[in-house]
Structure 1
Amino acid sequence: MGVSLKDVAQRAGVSMKTVSNVVNDYPYVSPATRERVQQAIKDLGYRPNLTARHLRKGRTGIIALAVPELGNPYFADLASAVIDAAAQHDHTVLLDHTAGLREKEVLVAQGFRAHIIDGLILSPIQLETEDLLARLDGPPLVLLGEREYDAPYDHIAIDNVAAARTAVQHLIALGRRRIAFLGARQESLRQPAHLRLRGWREEIRASGGTPDGSLVVATDGYDHRDGAAAMAYLLDRAEPPDAVFAYNDLIALGAMRVLFERGLRVPEDIAVVGFDDIEEGRYAAVSLTTVAPDKAAIARLAVDCLVERIDAGTPTAAFPRRILPGYTLVERESTIGRGTPAAHP
């Protein structure tokens, strides 16, 4: 038999209600009593019955996280951070994989599995504003990612335009002038790829240059092979770039592989910057300079916002919040050569 609330109460010499107040962190307990109860909990190895607690509140204690691609290291890192943040609120996380398909994102957003979750954190790729406005009911929702929506839900996303400008500014400061952008897309202008491309354009103009459209390469996807194909395309042109800013680290690493195969040096011949700060980039033969979103902050803010909506019983927000977590530019060998890495906000 496990240790019960009654056992703790007897050990501490208090009522079961007092033990419950301490376990639930209610403020109206004297410091001496709280300390006595906490010591009894420690001595007996008591563990609260979270399932019973959630059921008393009419909840399941489960929140869902839906992302486009769990195989992408960025989303794997993010999922891990969300799980850690949810645990601080005694919630379990159910992971869902949408493959970036609109039909799956709509299914998740409009209440799929609503009967077993208390709330949803969704990172959409193809979802449109009208899809969210058609969401008549369902559990509270918090949005992740850089697509912008005019919908009554809190949204957590870094400033992609500013982050891209930081990356390009770094390359310009190193004397690079023909800076390519790999990973452009043809979809909605609200896609993160368009926002990062916009930052590329703005920073080049701010430096007195003129953005060269021939240095912008669209890709079918966001993987190593896409970066390799894009880099090969640029190198076969008459005037190759002297630097590359890639939509993400996977594209950047694919590009660096092609540069190696063509006998070009990174960063001496072509400098490379990625985006996401995945582990593979840190341990590449030439470590990758990258924009590092604060994934822990993104996860914590998303979970905190969601739990706040769950506790308040308000699935939608009259004044939805747009929260911008921070990021850093982590300078490594792919732009500054061998030396001590540095990070700048």
Structure 2
Amino acid sequence: MHDVARIAGVSVKTVSNVINHHPHVRTFTRDRVLAAIDQLDYRPNLSARGLRSGRTGIIGLALPALKENYFAELADAVIRAAERRGLGVVVEQTSGDRNSELLAVSGAARPSFLDGLLFSPISLGQSDVDALETPLPIVLLGERIFNGPTDHVAMHNTSAAHAAVKHLLDIGRTRIALIGAGDPDSTEAGSASLRLRGYRQALEHAGLPYDTELVRRASHWNRATGAEAAQGLLDDRVRFDAVFALNDTLGLGALRALGAAGVDMPSDVALIGFDNIDESRYSVPSMSTVDPGRDEIAQTAVDLLIERIGEKETALPPRTIKPEFRIVRRESTGFADATD
């Protein structure tokens, strides 16, 4: 700690305040201390700190499925963001199971040494909002529960989907298929319904009709269902000149099926996905996509959780934050040079 203080040009007390996440440290000073910590690869003694503060410096991250690229990359981003703040992360996979998600927030199956939890549910919905009323600080990720008692880091799902479809419209496509729609009878909020809304808004603003023949469901958002949906469009002889895949893994499956059928991309069909997973840069053709701001989502969620962990008597009202998104133009929509 003395070495960190010397390199940062601050007192040992200031280093301690940064490590223990005291709120009254100027951003410039905090950044200098964190840079010195990175330079020295300094790691606080969590056991000693826990004895002094009642905290362990360990937070939890509960995600649906680590085998899915987006969640794996989100976990990586959270771990890196936590390390920059001197925290460790315990990752839990809920498999999208309702009971597992309830256990994750109730604490029944949760390690007792966690200071807080980042939680991304996909089975719990708005009717389960009361389950988030727990003594442990929680920051919610994802699009299933809104206006709850916790801070929430979400995406601009509807406006980002609108922008993705507008990108296809801007390059002259008018028969735009959508892959990944959810249950049409469901009233629950979620990424599928929010992105479908953006798709419909973009078509409406362009004066184009909403054609249900172009909208394909996918029970799971993976490569297999993406390929099946794209093949279904071909088998049904649906006329389409573009595809909006509601996530990148659906898009990768669609790329495979269309390519195998001899469809030239992007000349015959242009395609854009959503999430900007690393694999989308290396598909053939490289896949245009929406970058929802995953690194900023991770950093914001960690910062909010640290604030909640450090709160005393008076708590701030719950906050919802949506990092900015951007459209990444690649070969699948006719752009030879990726704009990463």
Which 10-residue stretch deviates more, 237-246 or 248-257? Answer: 237-246
Structure 1 stretches lacking a partner, 5+ long: 13-17, 29-34
Q: Which residue of 2 aligns with 1:303?
A: 302
The Cα shift of 1:298 comes to 0.3
Which AA in structure 1 matches 2:248? D
Residue 326 of structure 1, aligned match among 324, 329, 332: 324
Q: Does 1:55 align with 2:51?
A: yes
SS at match of 2:310: helix
Q: Does 1:164 align with 2:161?
A: yes
The CA deviation string for residues 152-186 of structure 1, in whole angstroms up to 9 with x for no partner, is 11110111000000000000111111101100111
Q: Which residue of 2 aligns with 1:149?
A: 146
Q: Which residue of 2 aligns with 1:252?
A: 251
CA contact (8 A) 1:110 1:138 kept: no
Between the aligned residues of both structures, percent identity stands at: 44
The separation in 2 between residues aligned to 1:24 and 1:178, in whole angstroms, is 57
Q: Which residue of 2 aligns with 1:67?
A: 63
The Cα shift of 1:148 comes to 3.7
The Cα shift of 1:19 comes to 4.0
Q: Does 1:182 align with 2:165?
A: no
SS at match of 1:222: coil
Query: How many residues get paired?
Result: 317
The Cα shift of 1:238 comes to 3.1
The CA deviation string for residues 204-232 of structure 1, in whole angstroms up to 9 with x for no partner, is 00001111111110012111100010001
- Larger-Rg structure: 1
Which AA in structure 2 matches 1:268? S
The separation in 2 between residues aligned to 1:45 and 1:107, in whole angstroms, is 35
The CA deviation string for residues 216-259 of structure 1, in whole angstroms up to 9 with x for no partner, is 10012111100010001111123331100001111111111111
CA contact (8 A) 1:158 1:325 kept: yes
Which 10-residue stretch deviates more, 186-195 or 95-104? Answer: 186-195
Q: State TM-score, norm by structure 1.
A: 0.85
Q: Which residue of 2 aligns with 1:32?
A: none
SS at match of 1:300: helix
1:55 to 1:248, Cα distance in 2 relative to 1, 3 A: same
1:46 to 1:261, Cα distance in 2 relative to 1, 3 A: closer
The Cα shift of 1:341 comes to 2.3
The separation in 2 between residues aligned to 1:20 and 1:320, in whole angstroms, is 31
CA contact (8 A) 2:49 2:56 kept: no
Which 10-residue stretch deviates more, 250-259 or 83-92? Answer: 83-92
SS at match of 1:182: strand
The separation in 2 between residues aligned to 1:106 and 1:215, in whole angstroms, is 36
Q: State TM-score, norm by structure 2.
A: 0.86
1:46 to 1:326, Cα distance in 2 relative to 1, 3 A: closer
CA RMSD of aligned residues (A): 2.7
Which 10-residue stretch deviates more, 128-137 or 305-314? Answer: 128-137
The CA deviation string for residues 123-143 of structure 1, in whole angstroms up to 9 with x for no partner, is 111112343314453310000
Q: Which residue of 1 aligns with 2:203?
A: 204
Q: Which residue of 2 aligns with 1:15?
A: none
Which AA in structure 2 matches 1:200? Y
The separation in 1 between residues aligned to 2:41 and 2:323, in whole angstroms, is 38
